[in-house]
């Protein structure tokens, strides 16, 4: 999903330039390193592994150098901006209009900071992003210099100044990370392997129980979607690389009536839904939404083709406020772009509980490929997802002959 590009009038642009303070060339002294001698301060961030994919979070040593070392390491322009919190002139940065696919890393320490998918043209004259590549990697500090209340952004590993963040960005975050080109280095997508970092085999912090839970959470995530008959939805999502399991079941109603016979009456409040367990390092929540909206009709209320009843509604059961916001923005973008010609009626509901369906409903497409309903309705959807999302599917179709 791409953010909506804000159309800024000249007046607004000028106001933003003034308010943003990006134009100031500050010369505040760099913060002193207060770490006791002999100890290496650590920071928890996400880095690229040898497979060219973002991994972690992992604990890495902070990059702490003396002022003289920074001066020797950086160009004069980089030093002014990164270490003395300076700002490059608007509309002059080398990365302002860069639209190539890839990742923006810290110019001082190569920590991954932003990626192309979250870059947008803000009209302010500085490279702008609506979110960092990983929250851990970009620090935010209150900055009250120049008589303004702003939020400064810094690289988490070397604490170099990057720019500021403002709350006038596009969906889905509403944020604008206003960066200096000089603070960033662009790495094209096909060169991401060059960012690979050696991750220590022993991660001291990861041995703590809370860290284990967090790491596990980043390896596996869940989403519950409804889009008509769950046999079809399950068949579609099982094709995707990064989806480890798709389970047919019921969501939106109570435990007592979460069985096929009762749900079929259309009076229990349940939707036939599918719980998708996925690896967010391989496939994102947004990508799953994209597939969902491409493989069912979200404009027909409580109906998919001939299947009619509240159990066949289109729905997204969100597990967090962040998921709700992303889904809502995703639907708004589709409506704005008039993709379907009719308004989307997909329900957005908090996920209270998911009840797996009876065993004979699981892997139904795989086990019944010759059944007329599967041949006529489900398999064309499977073919569609494999055709439309060639880069996202498993090498072989997950349908047993
Ligand atoms: Zn850095």
**For the segment 180-210, what is each residue's pLDDT rounded down to a tens digit?**
999 999 999 999 988 988 765 544 433 333 3
What is the rounded average pLDDT of the residues 302-314? Answer: 93
**Does 6 score more than 70 pLDDT?**
no
Predicted TM-score of the model (pTM): 0.50
Confirm whether 106 is a catalytic residue: no
- Per-residue burial over 39-50, b if 16 or more Cβ lie within 10 Å, else e, is eeeebbbbbbbe
Q: Which residue range forms the structural domain that includes residue 44?
A: 10-198
Q: If pLDDT is split at 50, 70 and 90, which confidence band does 5 have?
A: very low
Q: Are strands 184-188 and 221-227 parallel, antiparallel or unpaired?
A: unpaired
Does 353 sit behind a cis peptide bond, omega within 30 degrees of 0 on the bond before it?
no
Domain shared by 115 and 85, yes or no = yes
Burial class from Cβ neighbours inside 10 Å (0-12, 13-18, 19+) for residue 59 reads middle
**What digits encode the pLDDT tens for the residues 232-257?**
999 999 999 999 999 999 999 999 99
Domain final residue, candidates 153, 174, 198: 198
Expressed in angstroms and rounded, the spacing between residue 158 Cα and the centre of ligand 1 is: 4
Q: Is residue 241 part of a domain?
A: yes
Domain shared by 150 and 231, yes or no = no
**Does 38 score more than 60 pLDDT?**
no
Confirm whether 178 is a catalytic residue: yes
Expressed in angstroms and rounded, the spacing between residue 183 Cα and the centre of ligand 1 is: 9
**pLDDT value for 85:** 94
Domain final residue, candidates 198, 233, 254: 198
Tally of structural domains, the chain: 2
**Does 168 score more than 90 pLDDT?**
yes
Q: Is residue 246 part of a domain?
A: yes
Sign of CA dihedral 128, 133, 139, 141: positive
Q: Is 38 left (phi over 0), alpha (psi -120 to 50) or beta?
A: left
Domain shared by 265 and 317, yes or no = yes
- 16 vs 69, more confident: 69
What is the CATH number for 15? 2.170.150.20
Q: If pLDDT is split at 50, 70 and 90, which confidence band does 214 have?
A: very low
Domain shared by 25 and 160, yes or no = yes
Q: How far is CA 219 from the centre of its chain?
A: 14
Expressed in angstroms and rounded, the spacing between residue 120 Cα and the centre of ligand 1 is: 22
Expressed in angstroms and rounded, the spacing between residue 283 Cα and the centre of ligand 1 is: 27
Expressed in angstroms and rounded, the spacing between residue 157 Cα and the centre of ligand 1 is: 5
What is the rounded average pLDDT of the residues 258-277? Answer: 95
Domain shared by 257 and 192, yes or no = no
Domain shared by 171 and 89, yes or no = yes
Average pLDDT over the chain, rounded to whole? Answer: 84
Among 178, 264, 313, 366, which one carries the catalytic annotation?
Answer: 178
Expressed in angstroms and rounded, the spacing between residue 81 Cα and the centre of ligand 1 is: 12
What is the rounded average pLDDT of the residues 309-334? Answer: 90
Among 109, 229, 232, 313, which one carries the catalytic annotation?
Answer: 229
Expressed in angstroms and rounded, the spacing between residue 73 Cα and the centre of ligand 1 is: 12
Domain shared by 310 and 171, yes or no = no
What is the rounded average pLDDT of the residues 291-310? Answer: 93
Domain shared by 372 and 251, yes or no = yes
Domain shared by 97 and 230, yes or no = no
Domain shared by 149 and 230, yes or no = no
**Does 387 score more than 50 pLDDT?**
yes
Residues 6 or more apart whose Cβ sits within 8 Å of residue 371: none
């Amino acid at each position: 999903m791409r953010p909506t590009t804000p159309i800024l009038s000249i007046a607004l642009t000028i106001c933003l330039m003034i308010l943003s303070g990006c134009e100031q060339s500050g010369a505040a002294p760099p913060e002193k390193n207060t770490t006791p001698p002999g100890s290496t301060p650590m920071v928890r961030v996400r880095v690229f592994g040898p497979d060219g994919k973002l991994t972690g979070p992992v604990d890495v040593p902070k990059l702490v150098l003396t002022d003289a070392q920074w001066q020797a390491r950086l160009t004069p322009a980089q030093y002014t901006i990164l270490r003395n919190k300076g700002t490059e002139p608007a509309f002059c940065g080398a990365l302002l209009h860069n639209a190539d696919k890839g990742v923006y890393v810290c110019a001082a320490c190569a920590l991954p900071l932003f990626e192309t998918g979250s870059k947008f043209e803000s009209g302010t004259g500085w490279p702008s992003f609506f979110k960092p590549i990983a929250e851990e990697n970009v620090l935010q500090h209150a900055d009250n210099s120049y008589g303004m209340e702003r939020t400064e952004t810094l690289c988490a590993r070397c604490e170099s100044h990057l720019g500021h963040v403002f709350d006038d960005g596009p969906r889905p975050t509403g944020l604008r990370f206003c960066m200096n080109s000089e603070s960033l280095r662009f790495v094209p997508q096909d060169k991401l392997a060059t960012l690979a970092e050696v991750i220590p085999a022993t991660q001291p912090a990861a041995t703590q129980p809370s860290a284990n839970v967090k790491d596990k959470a980043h390896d596996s995530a869940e989403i519950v979607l409804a889009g008509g008959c769950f046999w079809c939805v399950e068949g579609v999502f099982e094709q995707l690389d990064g989806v480890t399991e798709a389970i047919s079941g019921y969501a939106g109603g109570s435990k007592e009536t979460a069985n096929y016979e009762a749900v079929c009456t259309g009076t229990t409040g349940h939707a036939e839904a599918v719980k998708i367990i996925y690896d967010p390092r391989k496939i994102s929540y947004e990508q799953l939404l994209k597939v969902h909206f491409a493989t069912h009709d979200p404009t027909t209320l409580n109906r998919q083709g001939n299947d009619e009843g509240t159990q066949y509604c289109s729905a997204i059961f969100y597990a967090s406020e962040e998921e709700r916001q992303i889904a809502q923005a995703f639907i708004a973008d589709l409506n704005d772009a008039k993709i379907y010609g009719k308004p989307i009626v997909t329900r957005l509901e908090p996920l209270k509980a998911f009840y797996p369906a009876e065993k004979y409903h699981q892997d139904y497409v795989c086990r019944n490929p010759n059944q007329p309903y599967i041949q006529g309705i489900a398999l064309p959807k499977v073919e569609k997802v494999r055709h439309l999302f060639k880069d996202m599917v498993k090498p072989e179709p997950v349908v047993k002959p």
